[in-house]
Structure 1
Amino acid sequence: MKRISIYLFIGLYLLLANNLYAQRTIWTKEQANTWYKNQPWLVGSNYIPYNAINQLEMWQAETFDPQTIDKELGWAEQLGFNTLRVYLHDKVWQQDPDGFKGRIDQFLTICTKHNIRPMFVLFDSCWDPMPKLGKQREPRPGVHNSGWMQNPGAEILQDKSKYPMLEEYVKDVVEHFATDKRVLAWDVWNEPDNMNDARFKEEPANKIDLVTALLPRVFEWARSVNPSQPLTSGIWKGDWSNHEKLQPFEKIQIENSDVISFHNYDSPQDFEKRVKWLQAYGKPLLCTEYMARGNNSTFQGTLPLAKKYNVAAYNWGFVAGKTNTIYPWDSWKKVYNSEPQVWFHDIFRPNGKPYSENEVRLIRQLTARKKQKEPAAVN
């Protein structure tokens, strides 16, 4: 009898252990739509404080600025924004995992104060592929995102012996917040196939092959710690009218995402067309980047359509600052000696004054947010 009891105990222990560590499956349509029905219409912005040039400057202990974040998220709350998309960086985690997670927790506390639930981005293939810790360089005057850093950088992406470190970063961060209701979702990799128009000589020639192989592993790492929040990675270019027309990495993104995300910086007509294409998957749709005024992507054109089709909408850029995203993409090739008359991205000046009162009025109308007292200007 004692031997049977021991075997029974071992069996129950193994069963519980397997259940505890079993990787959850990709959400079905029903699971994804049940989650989405419990959300308000999700509307917000891609966010970085005005005084940070990139993810490193936002999150490193020396430059993390909760006072500025609190002030700026107050402006987001007044617009009726209920979510933000926020980029993390593996190098900050490498330097001090516990300190990094502690600052994320601080950020989440500020978000909760302003009724905002962020989506965190784990990796990003855009702009400079050579990130370095420490003091970040100053912005290049008039140049769009002159200091934004890729994550992982080119050196790590090309060194497969470093992938276990990336795995530990993903698992540690996602698991730490896996049941935290303050976190809305995880975007595992932003524009993974972006080659940045060969602007950087350090960009690996085989980058797309490397990312295509690594991306499904990142999904697996994140899913293995059983996050209660959905995972996604947004497709951003090409023909999505039929699944067979997708590129291999786009199929990985779609097939591994609990909810479908995408980017659109084009006309309202193009936005609507792509929404209709993606509706074929039967899962919630999140537009995680839009709004480039000079490219005919505007609040007036896109945001009403997003609300019509119940698509979550995150515009690029919140407060004009060190990222210089009021300047267009072509500022890498064309000289801009003064502030452009038409801002490319962003909503507010650093003192809280809106770039466009009409845009702010529209956003408040669509979020059903009544006009409140304007933020006090800061000299």
Structure 2
Amino acid sequence: MTLVPRDYRGFNYSGSWGTSALDLWQHHDHGLMAVEIARGKGYFPGWNVARWWLSHESYQRKPARFLANFEAGLNIFADHGIAVMPVLFNRWRDPTCDFGGVPLEHIVPWFTNQGNAPDLFQDDDLASRDVTRVQLLFSDYLRAVVGEHLDDPRIAAWDICNEPFSGPYLHDDSSEVRAAEVRWLDWCYRAIKRLGAAQPLTVGNRQYVKAVQLTEHISDFLTFHPYYVGSLTDRENQARWEDRLDQIMAIGRAAGKEVAATETIWGALDDAAHVALAEYTLGELRKRDLGFIVHALHHSLVADLHFPEYGPVGPPECLHFINADGSLRAGHEIFNRFV
């Protein structure tokens, strides 16, 4: 299942049964997952890669069960010819329906009383000093999840973290918070490389040039989340967004690295409006020979993947392609035009 990023044609996946990453993995439903992945492959035969969101918090609570469910899920995808990009950590937080993930308190030393060492996440040798508890927990998780799949052909790549720098400090070059987050990401990258992972590593950035620049050195290929937000008749807004695509592509060319979109297509409650956004967005990505992983495959109780009758709906509205009853949202076979 060897894939290069430009050939990605896929979907993000979070199961329908949970409201957050911890909920999904603590109450993992293997049978329902198998049904949902089969539905997706049936509607979208060219689907070749899945970005599958994990939960380090669930691993901490029930390691053996988490690992067994992870292994079983990899097999479901493989049975359908779909390679997997696991998302190891998450930094996207949503006040409407929070997905959970790594809080700043765990990676910025002065935010926590779990050990205030100013060089947190800078030391490569965990045995060399009294490291903090959170550092040990992250190390154990990476060793267990990545370390058991170092050359697993079912895994296309490892996404170290979804949407770091989720705050205005991204654009503040003097921010100590940003510097600490970069140190944590650097540490994760080095830890995975020391384990011997054969698969490439990347960071799932928001669609900001600065975020891609900050993580280029720890990305074997570059990934970002090009969501066009706004009217499809606002040519000035479209031009600004398209220019951002080109700037990020230029970073990749300068670094000699491929670029892929690992989340894309902004949401809408109205099916036709969502299809229009999909047509424009995927058309611009295809012009640039960008591989893409759409967010997201299936209805879920997590943020932005359900209609109001299933729970809180935030500003992105609904991004999923398959409804709760298993039917395809009207017009959403448009994905197949770009495969």
TM range, normalised to the smaller chain? 0.7 to 0.9
Q: Distance in 1 between matches of 2:54 and 2:306?
A: 23
SS in 2 for 1:298: helix
1:255 corresponds to: 217
1:99 corresponds to: 65
> Structure 1 residue 86: deviation in Å?
1.4
Q: Aligned AA for 1:257?
A: S
1:149 corresponds to: 100
2:32 pairs with 1:68: yes
2:289 to 310, 315, 318: 310
SS in 2 for 1:261: strand
Q: Aligned AA for 1:344?
A: C
> Structure 1 residue 92: deviation in Å?
1.6
User: How many residues are matched?
Assistant: 290
Listed one character per residue, the Cα deviations across residues 191-217 of structure 1 (whole Å, up to 9, x for unaligned) are 1111399xxxxxxx9643431221100
> Structure 1 residue 111: deviation in Å?
0.6
2:186 pairs with 1:216: yes
**TM-score normalised over the length of structure 1:** 0.68
Aligned 8 A contact 1:175 1:225 in 2: yes
SS in 2 for 1:84: strand
Aligned 8 A contact 2:54 2:86 in 1: yes
Listed one character per residue, the Cα deviations across residues 234-261 of structure 1 (whole Å, up to 9, x for unaligned) are 33243x3xxxxx36xx444111111111
Aligned 8 A contact 1:126 1:195 in 2: no
Q: Distance in 2 between matches of 1:337 and 1:172?
A: 34
Aligned 8 A contact 1:215 1:252 in 2: no
2:91 corresponds to: 125
Change (3 A) 1:327 1:196: farther
Change (3 A) 1:214 1:275: closer
1:169 corresponds to: 141
> Structure 1 residue 170: deviation in Å?
1.3
1:137 corresponds to: none
1:288 to 249, 259, 262: 262
Q: Distance in 1 between matches of 2:104 and 2:176?
A: 11
> Structure 1 residue 274: deviation in Å?
4.2
> Structure 1 residue 230: deviation in Å?
0.5
Deviates more, 1:102-111 or 1:300-309: 300-309
Aligned 8 A contact 1:73 1:111 in 2: yes
Deviates more, 1:159-168 or 1:173-182: 159-168
Change (3 A) 1:292 1:103: same
Q: Distance in 2 between matches of 1:265 and 1:40?
A: 18
Aligned 8 A contact 2:98 2:303 in 1: no
Deviates more, 1:177-186 or 1:304-313: 304-313
1:231 corresponds to: 201
> Structure 1 residue 365: deviation in Å?
2.7
Unaligned runs of 5+ in 2: 116-131, 170-174, 230-237
Listed one character per residue, the Cα deviations across residues 32-64 of structure 1 (whole Å, up to 9, x for unaligned) are xxx755x7821111110111111112222xx11
1:278 to 228, 251, 263: 251
Deviates more, 1:184-193 or 1:89-98: 89-98
Q: Aligned AA for 1:156?
A: H
Q: Distance in 1 between matches of 2:168 and 2:66?
A: 28
**TM-score normalised over the length of structure 2:** 0.75
1:45-84 matches, within 5 Å, as 45-60=11-26, 63-78=27-42, 79=44, 80-84=46-50
Q: Aligned AA for 1:233?
A: V
Change (3 A) 1:155 1:339: closer
Change (3 A) 1:343 1:352: farther
1:200 corresponds to: none
> Structure 1 residue 304: deviation in Å?
3.0
SS in 2 for 1:352: coil
Aligned 8 A contact 2:55 2:89 in 1: yes
Change (3 A) 1:318 1:207: farther
Listed one character per residue, the Cα deviations across residues 335-374 of structure 1 (whole Å, up to 9, x for unaligned) are x99989x9531111111112222x31x212322xxxxxxx
Q: Distance in 2 between matches of 1:326 and 1:49?
A: 10
SS in 1 for 2:83: coil
